[in-house]
């Protein structure tokens, strides 16, 4: 039997049957972030990618990090900032962000509203490496 199809119904910015996960294990590295793996999770190994949705609460931020794999990000909700290397860029709904391999990056919900974005990454990828916030290696 071939791969089976699946439709995931959304309820706002939550998807039926998709677990709301903790962003990472060390809460000292981020604040107010959740994630959902929408496609490419268990049972969908035929996909070469993972499609994930992240939400960052007002005032929250993701880990300042880098890794060898690229990201493709589409902002679906709110406004905030994307730290890319030594620059910070304002982002908002419908903006697209490309993060090349090894670029230090972070997303911040620093405009007083929830920032929600879809992030596409390779299914097989390296683990993120934290960058010290006092002296990022750009």
Q: Which residues are tagged catalytic? A: 119
96: which 2 tokens? 């697209």
Please give the distance of CA 3 from its chain centroid, rounded to a whole number.
26
Between the alpha carbon of residue 34 and those of residues 2, 20, 45, 97, the distances in Å are: 33, 7, 23, 19
DSSP tally for the chain: helices H, then strands E: 0, 11
Find all residues with CB under 8 Å of 16, minimum gap 6, and list them. Answer: 8, 9, 10
CB of 55 closer than 8 Å to CB of 18: no
The answer to whether 8 touches 18, Cβ cutoff 8 Å, is: yes
């Amino acid at each position: 039997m071939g791969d089976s199809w699946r439709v995931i119904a959304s309820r706002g910015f939550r998807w039926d049957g998709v677990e709301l996960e903790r962003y990472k294990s060390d809460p000292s590295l981020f604040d107010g972030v959740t994630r959902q793996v929408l496609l490419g999770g268990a049972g969908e190994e035929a996909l070469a990618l993972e499609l994930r949705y992240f939400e960052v609460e007002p005032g929250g931020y993701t880990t300042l990090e880098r890794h060898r794999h690229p990201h493709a990000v589409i902002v679906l909700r709110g406004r905030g900032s994307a730290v890319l290397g030594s620059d910070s860029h304002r982002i908002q709904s419908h903006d697209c962000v490309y993060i090349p391999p090894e670029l230090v990056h972070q997303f911040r919900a620093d405009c007083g509203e929830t920032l929600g974005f879809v992030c596409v990454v390779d299914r097989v990828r390296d683990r993120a490496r934290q960058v010290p916030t006092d002296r990022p290696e750009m």
